[in-house]
Amino acid sequence: MSLPQIKIETINATMDKMMQDTPTAYIGETLHCMVEDGNEELASCLAFVGKTLMDEMAEVDTGGLDSESLGGFAAEFSLAYASMVYRIMKSQIEANELNEAWDKVGLE
pLDDT digits (tens, 9 = 90+) for 14-55: 899 989 999 889 989 999 999 999 999 999 999 998 888 888
DSSP letter (8 states) at residue 62: G
> Which pTM does this prediction carry?
0.70
Q: How far apart are CA 17 and CA 52, in angstroms?
A: 26
At residue 64, φ and ψ (nearest 5 deg) are: -95, 0
Residue 106 CA to residue 99 CA, distance in Å, equals 10
Instruction: Please name the amino acid found at residue 101.
Output: A
